[in-house]
Chain A
Amino acid sequence: MSLLVARGLSKRFGGLHAVARLDMEIARGEMLGLIGPNGAGKTTVFNLLSGFLVPDAGDIVLDGHSIVGLPPHAICRLGLARTFQIVRPFPRMTVLENVRVGALARCPRAPEALARAREVVARVGLGPRERVAAGALTLADRKRLELARALATGPTLLLLDEVMAGLNPTEIETIIQLIRAIHASGVSILLIEHNMRAVMALSQRIVVLSFGERIAEGAPAEIAHHPKVVEAYLGEEYVRAAPA
């Protein structure tokens, strides 16, 4: 059975169809990539799935229960955690305190949550920086903190919104290793990513969005050569001009 099923998901902002009749499934244990040109509606999909936006139409079923209309905190407790594209650490809290907020979703008692937070912080490699104020971290560390906080809520499905954007190749390599390890521990992952090399390497399956609609779906190798995908990214002109 699929872990998450979205059916006919639509969201419009005024005249703009940000997401239009989107169907999407994520299998238990899967790592699914969600790609598409800027403005394709990827982050809107994340906001719909995580409850920050309510869809105009469509249904979202997580683990057999419809989650449409539930507030974000309730969806988080059902096992769907997300990161934000623009990281949102609690700047005046330390790394450890930040992660503790997430850990409290599973361990209501503060001391146990702190112990759990410490484990997660070590797991993402921020152990040496656990007492540093989040506002003072480098971008790469803030991305890792964002990941650690979401992970501390004990998700079955993790939505990662461009966790590699703005990182250098070495930092990207470490975060790829980290995502692989999280996936290997049994967490299903939905990944929005602009870094094609990374998304191709990580994803088992990829869904391509363009202007809010799903234009392609398949294994990374198929997607890379799919004419509609090439067209969406490079333009119709390029497709016609390219030798067959």
Chain B
Amino acid sequence: MKWVLVAGVLALLALPAVLSSYALTLFILIFFYGFLGQAWNIVGGYAGQLSAGHAAFVGVGGYTATMLSIELGLTPWVGMLIGGVLAALLGAIIGYLGFRFGLRGFYFVLLTVAFAEICRVAVSNIDALGGPLGLYITFTGNPRQFQFQDGRVYYYIALALMLVATLTAWAIERRRFGIYLAAIREDEAAAEALGVNAFKYKMLAMVVSSFLTGLGGTFYAFYLFSLQPNTLFGIPLSVEIIIRPIVGGAGTLLGPILGSFILTPLAEISRLYLGQGGLHGAHLIAYGVLLIGVVLFLPEGVYPRLRRALARRSGQTR
């Protein structure tokens, strides 16, 4: 298994040499959504706290880096980290409200959606942040400005983001932190009785997850050269973030990545073929159908099932 992963990463590193520019874009999106899904997975999957407003962190991260770049000329490489910290701060506020006051299940979902919507409406109404039209970034091609003539650089940055998030999740999973998160997800009261400070660990998961997600905002903004409140803070982006780990397998290390490899091409293809002629948004129907299928037939997601099937074939127990 380990060697399969190493081979996979090596293949992805070599891949841009043979990719067309369209395929390169597709892979960038796969990595980027895989990254966001993995970041969400830490709080939504491992800790089982269903945040449905993760777009808020993308938005805060993206707007922070962009404003710092436009107004102060600060390089987005630093702005990215500041955006991550601000996103983590927002995550801490949402987490505090949700976890201190015991909002579970649907109520936590509503809280996170509400915060993302508040951010969206607020940013849309602040002229200094570009209002509803958003902000535009002038293309200079200067690497210091997180801009590159060669699309392959974005490919490697997106891949690096996905790997960083996955290594973070891996490090969490095998430590006490991750074991406690799993216990909280399974039965919070029982975990408390066994010495688990559920509030502390849920907060930590939220902060790590929102920090990583915030980093993604900078990539989003400087890859597309523009950011609008409706796309960066909107519910559709939150759904895009959640749906990949759920389909792939929430709370598993490779689930979010697998989910992105399945869903991102599907979204792109349906956008390409169904997007024209008044069928705008048809890819959302395809998502819906797929999600129903996963819930019905693979409630744990694709990855756990796949792992068991592979284990059976190789005759191992795990």
Closest to A99 in B: B194
A48 to B189, CA, bound (A): 14
| B10 within 8 Å of A (CB atoms) | no
Residue from B176, B183, B186 within 8 A of A110 (CB atoms): B176
> Shortest CB–CB separation between residue B296 and chain A, in angstroms?
19
Which chain B residues in 169-205 approach chain A with CB under 8 Å? 174-176, 179-180, 182-183, 186-187, 189-199
Contact A109 B176 (CB under 8 A): yes
Residue from B174, B186, B195, B198 within 8 A of A105 (CB atoms): B195
| A77 within 8 Å of B (CB atoms) | yes
Chain A residues with CB under 8 Å of B175's CB are 110
Chain B residues with CB under 8 Å of A81's CB are 193-194
The interface size bin for chain A is 20 to 34
Chain A residues with CB under 8 Å of B197's CB are 71, 73-74
A149 to B198, CA, bound (A): 17
Chain A residues with CB under 8 Å of B196's CB are 73, 101, 105
Contact A72 B179 (CB under 8 A): no
Contact A150 B193 (CB under 8 A): yes
| A211 within 8 Å of B (CB atoms) | no
Closest to A106 in B: B195
Contact mask B137-179 → A, CB, 8 Å, 1/0? 0000000000000000000000000000000000000111001
Chain B residues with CB under 8 Å of A101's CB are 179-180, 183, 191, 194, 196
Which chain A residues in 149-199 approach chain B with CB under 8 Å? 149-150, 152-153
Q: What is the interface of chain B mostly: helix, strand, loop, or mixed?
A: helix
Chain A residues with CB under 8 Å of B186's CB are 90-93
Closest to A74 in B: B197
A102 to B191, CA, bound (A): 8
Chain A residues with CB under 8 Å of B183's CB are 90, 93, 101
Closest to A155 in B: B195
Chain B residues with CB under 8 Å of A50's CB are 193
Which chain A residues in 35-82 approach chain B with CB under 8 Å? 50, 52, 71-74, 76-77, 81-82
| A100 within 8 Å of B (CB atoms) | yes
Also in contact, A113 and B176, with CB within 8 A (given A88-B187, A90-B182, A92-B186):
yes
A101 to B198, CA, bound (A): 12
Chain B residues with CB under 8 Å of A100's CB are 179
| A108 within 8 Å of B (CB atoms) | yes
Residue from A73, A84, A91, A153 within 8 A of B198 (CB atoms): A73
List, sorted by A's number, 9 A–B pairs whose CB atoms are closer than 8 Å: A52-B193, A73-B193, A88-B189, A89-B187, A93-B186, A102-B194, A108-B176, A109-B176, A113-B176
Interface residues, chain A, with chain B CB atoms under 8 Å away = 50, 52, 71-74, 76-77, 81-82, 84, 88-93, 97, 100-102, 104-105, 108-110, 113, 131, 149-150, 152-153
- Return the 8 tightest CB-CB contacts between A and B, nearest first: A105-B195, A90-B186, A88-B190, A76-B195, A72-B192, A102-B194, A101-B183, A73-B197
